[in-house]
Amino acid sequence: MSGRVRQTSCLKEHIDRFIHAPQTEIALVALILLSVFLVVVEVVLDTRGLSTRWVSHLQAGLTSIFMLELSCRYWIARKKQRFWRNYWLDILATMPMITAFRLLRLLRLLRLLRAGILLNRSLGRLSSAIAASLGIQIGVFMVIGLIVLTGGLAIYLFEEPYNPRIESLRDSMWWSILSLVAGEPIGGDPQTDIGRIIALVVMMGGLTTFAVFTGVVSAVMMRKLETFMDFKALEIDELRGHIVICGWNRGGHLIVEELLADGINRCAVVIVAEATDEPAQALNHLNASQLYFYAEDYTKIDILETVGIIHASRAILLADATHPRTDQDRDARTVLAALTIEKLNPSIYTCAQLLDRRNDVQLKLAGVDDVIVTEEVSSHLIATSARNQGSVEALSELLTVQSGNQIYEIQVPTDWIGKQYWALAQVLKQQSDALLLAIESVKQDKRTTQVNPPAELVLNKEDRLVIIARESPRF
């Protein structure tokens, strides 16, 4: 029975990754735009008395794809109520029975809003800055496009036989645009009751849009659109491969900036700290699309499970300074959280910040990968600067991903297993302009790092290379 549960869980994870893959979302945007185009074609052919059978068949095929997509989303959803809350418009737009009513067929246009969300999310993957600047604009133009397209098609569908001023689809679209801008029917008053209702909806949409653009109610409207068009597709409990930061102190914002600046390993960051607004205030200058804040005690098991520590790739434990505590108490909370995290997710990479080196033993026993004593590191930097003038500038460049060279850790290429360290170092310098700094080896679950190893050292498949380069080399 447990095997079947694991297989089901594995299948859900595969479907989850497939649905949220960038290629899948771009394909869905294309299918939605095709469906909207077919709605326009169907309305034009229908009003002219021409056959729309082929259009109906194509729409039926697209509807089947959308229904399959929504069914998969429902099956993998961890909270069904959230699914209904997020996708009720899409469900309404894909209901097969809407084809029986002329006006209800226009409900397919509602999926334009989903296309806007997917497009905004794709922009966020390319560049967070672009997504932050264009997110609201995309939302506004999608709403305007939906109003204009729905109003124009509906007027053409119901007014064309009775209104001499609506003779073509172009006339109805111009009527919809002008009525939206002017706030009154321009280019012909509707002759039918349904047409008058449509005109009222378009005019109301125009008044609202005018308010958004003029800024009279911009604070309310923009906040709603920002919430609606937010490309955080996943709630905290649905994240995968993210980074969890437990605790907060004055250096926390620098850590988050470095993590978000990493163009290769960039992923969502969840900050868990006890009731405080300090993290959000310190990071308000950053794009929040990849940031999640959770104001709770990170030493509790249920809180760690809520932020998805089981599915996280990395955990960072900071010496928490959100409440007045002694250094011993802060380290004790770090040790307790590390023990809990390693128990819940033994495969996670964990980095912990300590205030006292004597507490290092407990963290190593807990399975923490790296332990950093801040005062030791800063003291060593000061001593190094005093002994070797100018060396700190070189170290500063290596310790940030925002400029210059960085430190990368990569797997030993398969072709170089069994060969000497020095030969690979020369090839890296020639091909990638990279310096091979150290070799990290794992033997019997014990990790050792050799900085500037002997030239004749033979590389093993378990080894990892620590290199200095402007970008990660590719073999």
421: helix, strand or coil: helix
- Round the average pLDDT of the chain to a whole number and report it: 76
Dihedral sign (CA 318, 320, 325, 329): negative
pLDDT of the residue at 3? 65
264: helix, strand or coil: coil
Cβ pair 309, 296 in contact under 8 A: no
Decide: residue 401, CB within 10 A, 0-12 exposed, 13-18 middle, 19+ buried: buried
436: helix, strand or coil: strand
The residue with greater pLDDT, 398 or 7, is 7
Q: Average pLDDT in the 356-379 region?
A: 82
Residues contacting 322, CB < 8 A, separation 6+: 247, 248, 249, 273, 274, 276, 278
pLDDT of the residue at 49? 64
pLDDT of the residue at 322? 83
Residues contacting 195, CB < 8 A, separation 6+: 154, 155, 158, 159, 163
Residues contacting 451, CB < 8 A, separation 6+: 437, 438
The residue with greater pLDDT, 321 or 131, is 321
pLDDT of the residue at 244? 92
Q: Average pLDDT in the 154-175 region?
A: 72
Helices assigned H by DSSP within 262-350: 278-282, 301-306, 327-344
pLDDT of the residue at 220? 47
pLDDT of the residue at 125? 59
The residue with greater pLDDT, 327 or 52, is 327
Across 211-215, 340-344, 423-427, least confident range: 211-215
Across 130-139, 180-189, 444-453, least confident range: 130-139
pLDDT of the residue at 230? 46
Q: Average pLDDT in the 251-266 region?
A: 77
Q: How many other C-beta atoms lie within 10 A of the C-beta of residue 318?
A: 26
- In this prediction, residue 97 has a pLDDT band, given cuts at 50, 70 and 90, of low
Q: Is the pLDDT of residue 133 over 60?
A: no
The C-alpha R_g of the chain, in whole angstroms, comes to 29
pLDDT of the residue at 246? 92
For 290-326, write each residue's pLDDT tens digit: 788 888 888 889 889 888 898 888 999 998 888 888 8
Q: Is the pLDDT of residue 223 over 70?
A: no
The residue with greater pLDDT, 227 or 54, is 54
